[in-house]
C-alpha cells in the first residue's frame, strides 16, 4: 500500500544536539511538506519542496534544515539553533500541487530533555 | 504572507447542539480550501472547496466557500462526543503551498 512513513514515532533529544526526522513516501508525489504542531494548535509550515533538489522556507524555518535528494525522501533536521524544538512534527505530500489533496504521515513527537 | 484565521479557537457544546466553525483567509493565488479533522495524529480529510456557493455535505457535516468575502464555514449538526477534535482549515495556493489556520478545538459533552 502506498503512503507516507515517518520515523521514529517518538524521539528524545538532549539540548544542544541536532536530530533528523525521517519522511519517506512511495506515492510518486512531487511535493513534500514539513509542519510543526504545538499542543492544541494548528499546523505551521517549516519547509516544503515541489521538486527534487529544490525547497522553500515556510513560515517558521529558523533552526531547521531539509534536503530533497530523492523524490521519495524529505528528511528534516532540527538543529541546536531551534530554541523550542519540543513539538509534534507532521510530514505531508501531494501530487499536482494539491489538486488531489494531501497525504499525511502519522507524525513524530520530539521531546527535548 | 499567506494567512488563514480560524474562529473560535475553542468551543464547548453538548451533544445534539449545532456548531459553526469559521475560516477566513488572505493568500496569493488561491486555489482551494481544505477542512480536516484531527483527533490524535494525522489530520483526516473532510472537504475540499474550490468554487463559491456550492455546499459540500457528508453526513452531519457540511461546508461552503465564499471566494468574494474570503471565508468558509464548517457546520456540524446534531453533534456527538465523537466529533470532539481539532478542526483545521487550510488554503492551497497555485504553487501548491498549503497553509493552515490555528485550528478550532471542539469539545462535545454528553
**Exposed/middle/buried for A10, CB within 10 Å: 0-12, 13-18, 19+?**
exposed
Interface A–B counts its CB contacts (< 8 A) at: 64
CB contact under 8 A, A59 and B98: no
From A23, A10, A4, A18, select the one nearest A82 (Cα to Cα). A18
Residue A104 in contact with residue A89, Cβ under 8 Å?
A: no
Give the DSSP per-residue string, B20-60: EEEEEEE-SSEEEEEEEEESSSS-EEEEEE-STT--EEETT
Residue B11 in contact with residue B104, Cβ under 8 Å?
A: yes
How many Cα atoms are found within 13 Å in the side-chain-facing hemisphere of A91? 29
A98: DSSP letter: G
Residue A21 CA to residue B31 CA, distance in Å, equals 30
Q: What is the pLDDT, as a whole number, of residue A1?
A: 62
Q: What residues in B contact A3, CB-CB < 8 Å?
A: none
pLDDT tens-digit series, residues B28-70: 889 999 999 999 888 999 999 998 999 999 999 999 999 999 9
Give the DSSP per-residue string, B76-105: E-S--GGG-EEEEEEEEETT--EEE---EE
Q: State how far the alpha carbon of A104 is from the alpha carbons of A27, A51, B103, B106, in Å.
A: 11, 18, 17, 21
Choose from B27, B96, B99 for mutation: most chain A CBs within 10 A: B96
The beta-carbon neighbor of B42 closest among A56, A98, A107 is A107
> Rounded mean pLDDT of A32-48?
92
Q: What is the pLDDT, as a whole number, of residue B2?
A: 87
Residue B42 in contact with residue A88, Cβ under 8 Å?
A: no
From B72, B74, B49, select the one nearest B60 (Cα to Cα). B74
Instruction: Report the DSSP pairing between strands B10-14 and A108-112.
Output: unpaired
CB contact under 8 A, B41 and A92: no
> Rounded mean pLDDT of A70-91?
94
> Rounded mean pLDDT of A79-94?
93
Residue A90 CA to residue B109 CA, distance in Å, equals 29
Distance in Å from the first CA to the final CA of chain A: 36
Q: What is the pLDDT, as a whole number, of residue B94?
A: 80
Retrieve residue B80's grid coordinates. Answer: 456527538
Higher pLDDT, A41 or A14: A14
Amino acid at each position: 500500500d502506498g503512503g507516507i512513513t515517518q520515523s521514529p514515532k517518538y524521539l528524545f533529544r538532549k539540548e544542544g544536539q541536532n536530530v533528523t526526522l525521517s519522511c519517506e513516501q512511495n506515492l510518486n508525489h512531487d511535493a513534500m511538506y514539513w509542519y510543526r504542531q504545538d499542543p492544541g494548535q494548528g499546523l505551521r509550515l517549516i519547509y516544503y519542496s515541489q521538486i527534487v533538489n529544490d525547497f522553500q522556507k515556510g513560515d517558521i524555518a529558523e533552526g531547521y534544515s531539509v534536503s530533497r535528494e530523492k523524490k521519495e525522501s524529505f528528511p528534516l533536521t532540527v538543529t541546536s539553533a531551534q530554541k523550542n524544538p519540543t513539538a509534534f512534527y507532521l510530514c505531508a505530500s501531494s501530487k499536482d500541487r494539491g489538486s488531489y489533496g494531501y497525504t499525511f504521515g502519522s507524525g513524530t513527537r520530539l521531546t527535548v530533555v | 504572507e499567506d494567512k488563514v484565521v480560524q474562529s473560535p479557537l475553542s468551543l464547548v457544546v453538548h451533544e445534539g447542539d449545532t456548531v459553526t466553525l469559521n475560516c477566513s483567509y488572505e493568500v496569493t493565488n488561491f486555489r482551494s480550501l481544505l477542512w480536516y479533522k484531527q483527533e490524535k495524529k494525522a489530520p483526516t480529510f473532510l472537504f475540499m472547496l474550490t468554487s463559491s456557493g456550492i455546499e459540500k455535505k457528508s453526513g452531519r457535516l457540511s461546508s461552503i466557500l465564499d471566494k468574494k468575502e474570503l471565508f468558509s464555514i464548517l457546520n456540524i449538526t446534531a453533534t456527538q462526543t465523537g466529533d470532539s477534535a481539532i478542526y483545521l482549515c487550510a488554503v492551497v495556493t497555485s504553487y501548491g503551498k498549503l497553509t493552515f489556520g490555528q485550528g478550532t478545538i471542539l469539545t462535545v459533552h454528553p
